[in-house]
Structure 1
Amino acid sequence: MNPPKNVIEQIHQMFAKFFWGSTGSLKRKHWVAWEDMCIPKKEGGLGFRSLHAVNNALFAKLWWNFRTSTSLWSNYMGNKYCKKRHPIVSRSVGATHVWKKMVAIREEVEHEIWWQLKAGTSSFWFDNLTKQGTLFYTEGESARDEEIEVKEFIEEGSWKREKLRNYLSEEMTEHIVINVLPCTSEMNDKAWWMGSSVGNFTVKSAFHLVRHKREQIDYCRNIWIKKLPLKISFFFYGKSGKKELPLMII
């Protein structure tokens, strides 16, 4: 599900009223905007999670499942929306609401999917083989909008250097020959999630990828410390949200 933005904002307002202690007709002052509280403490927030970012992270999970699994659902979506074009360049015109949202989040998560070569079944142009992004985008004007498998560039366990040069720049050709291992196996190529140290997709890692980020604030380290009573920390935090942080913080 993808609730409208105004619905999520109404839920955020309920969260904020609960946090600041509003009851009934009594309205208490919200010293810091909710969106400012939905960032880590070291960046000036409280570490709450924005539902916008959570929603995007869950759609990132859908995109990961679509790209890496062979389930009935992924096959159905592929046959319906990606018959003529690869998933990373397919469009969402006239598509369902779910597919439109998946395509919207695609730009933020697709480059985090790395394909480890096994049998060379990955798309040469559209799958991320080098951990630097797909060749279709990194190679610029020399890229070709055509489906060709990686195994077409491998012979007897080695890269066909001359054929690579016919398709890619000299710099990218050398990078692939030196850094990308042309494994030979009967298994299909394996997808790894680069946002995790073990290669497995997690919603948590996707959340930190898509969430709104800000620069770290030095004085925040002096607000959230164990020796300082929590009530005082919140007082200083509220003042910092109004640009009134006392200079007494050491």
Structure 2
Amino acid sequence: MMTSIIPKACVDEIQKMQRRFIWGDTEHSRKYHAIGWDIMTKPKDCGGLGLRRLTVMNKACILKLGRKLQTGSQEFWCNVMWGKYRRGSTNNNVVAKTLDSHLWKSIVKLWPKLDELCFWTIRDGKSVDCYWYSQVWIEEGLRVADLNLNIPDSLRDLKVTQLVDDEGRWKLEVLAACLPVSLLHMIAAIPPPEESAGADSAYCMEDTAGNFSISAMYHPLYRFDDSNGSAMCDFCGDQVETILHVMRDCPLVMPLWLNLVHSNMRRNFFTGNTQQWIEFNLNVDVREQFDVECKSIWAISCHFAWSWRNKEKHEVNFIRPTAPAMVVMNAVRSYVVADRVLHIGKESRKVEKLITWKPPPVGWVRLNTDGAHSEDGSIGCGGIIRGSDGEWLGGFA
């Protein structure tokens, strides 16, 4: 598991034994399989049991060794491997030959995954290819190779540092010829490389202590093995499917907002990043029809926008409503009615109650005390002693 890729037949046999144990199968009888193996191996937050697929786990373990080699670890075995198998001037040039060890062949086979799953922080820009067929640096999880763009051959070998002019600014005019506007905006938000910033650095599935995490590596490997979807919006085709694009800027959802958002609010509504957009809608102090705050209408609209998009993607017979704003406002009306019913009977009633001092029996005295504290932590108390006729006998504070 830790030092070589296990043959598929062996892995299948081990997982068959796992399934038999979980389902209660024996050599002579089979039980009803209420839950499929694909569901069992999904993460718990996705409705599965969190069991890990051995093939993916095997790859994650091998990649941990590969990451140590990639980062120049000085462990003894790393020095031995590089001393025996380094065939280039840098650690990124790895090649396996027929007579090499099984461990080295396994690492070389999975080496491209390290580049796919690493996120590069741009400093001097000399280590990262700008047209990035393996390296990720614009946004985590986004590779230009996945976008099916037409990149000219003359530009594919450039480094990121070559995309900066003499004044230290991005050469966006060079990128504009082959990249969509959404990617240009992402690149413009990245500080341009500088010679004084030092060498570029790569982050790859590391925990808070900076150590490679097999658990963190498992999840992206699982997704890469089972999903090869494009990062571009299915409807637009030329826009990256970010959260903000899906919820606000996509033409699929734009008619909904144009019908619900006042014209005097649209400038602020349709500008800003995701965080600014959320804060704007949560803080706007305007009430619409049914005496409902705008933020409630916005939240319900977001729910429907996300639900409709997913149903269009995964349900064959789903048809998007022709009047989405009307559907949202009907839901808002139902929300208002339900909210009022929920609070019926829960409103506190003010009752005026007169408080008087009651004298003690003859021959007795009564001690009344009271205390209070303030937010700064200071406290105080006091009390009085009176007789049966209300006469003052003493007090303290």
CA shift, 1:55, in A, is 0.8
Amino acid aligned to 1:159? R
Match of 2:138 in 1: 130
SS at match of 1:158: coil
Distance 1:71 1:199 in 2: 13
Q: 1:30 to 1:59 in 2, by over 3 A?
A: farther
Q: 1:48 to 1:166 in 2, by over 3 A?
A: closer
2:214 corresponds to 1:203: yes
Counterparts of 1:28-39 in structure 2, within 5 Å, are: 28-29=30-31, 31=33, 32=35, 34=37, 36-39=39-42
Q: 1:70 to 1:199 in 2, by over 3 A?
A: closer
Counterparts of 1:95-106 in structure 2, within 5 Å, are: 97-106=102-111
Task: Give the structure, 1 or 2, with the largest relative contact order (CA under 8 Å, sep 6 or more).
Answer: 1
1:116 to 121, 146, 156: 121
RMSD: 4.6
CA shift, 1:141, in A, is 3.9
2:174 corresponds to 1:165: yes
Q: 1:41 to 1:84 in 2, by over 3 A?
A: closer
1:80 to 78, 86, 92: 86
1:52 to 52, 55, 59: 55
Match of 2:191 in 1: 181
Amino acid aligned to 2:72? T
Match of 2:7 in 1: 4
Answer yes or no: is the 8 Å Cα contact 1:128–1:135 preserved in 2: no
CA shift, 1:30, in A, is 5.8
Distance 2:110 2:18 in 1: 26
Answer yes or no: is the 8 Å Cα contact 1:111–1:128 preserved in 2: yes
Match of 1:16 in 2: 19
Q: 1:45 to 1:170 in 2, by over 3 A?
A: closer
The answer for unaligned runs of 5 or more in structure 1 is: 215-250
Amino acid aligned to 1:165? V
Match of 1:219 in 2: none
Distance 1:188 1:139 in 2: 28
2:152 to 129, 142, 153: 142
**Deviations for 1:79-104, whole angstroms, at most 9, x for unmatched residues?**
635569965xx776746544554455
Q: 1:78 to 1:43 in 2, by over 3 A?
A: farther
Q: 1:6 to 1:81 in 2, by over 3 A?
A: farther
Q: How many residues align?
A: 209
Distance 1:42 1:119 in 2: 39
Match of 1:70 in 2: 72
SS at match of 2:86: helix
TM-score, length basis structure 2: 0.40
Distance 1:80 1:177 in 2: 34
CA shift, 1:191, in A, is 0.9
Instruction: Pick which of 136-145 and 3-12 moved more.
Output: 136-145
TM-score, length basis structure 1: 0.58
Q: 1:115 to 1:152 in 2, by over 3 A?
A: same
Distance 1:22 1:166 in 2: 59
Answer yes or no: is the 8 Å Cα contact 1:142–1:167 preserved in 2: no
The answer for unaligned runs of 5 or more in structure 2 is: 228-397
CA shift, 1:26, in A, is 5.7
Distance 1:77 1:179 in 2: 41
1:190 to 196, 201, 206: 201
Distance 2:156 2:85 in 1: 18
SS at match of 2:9: helix
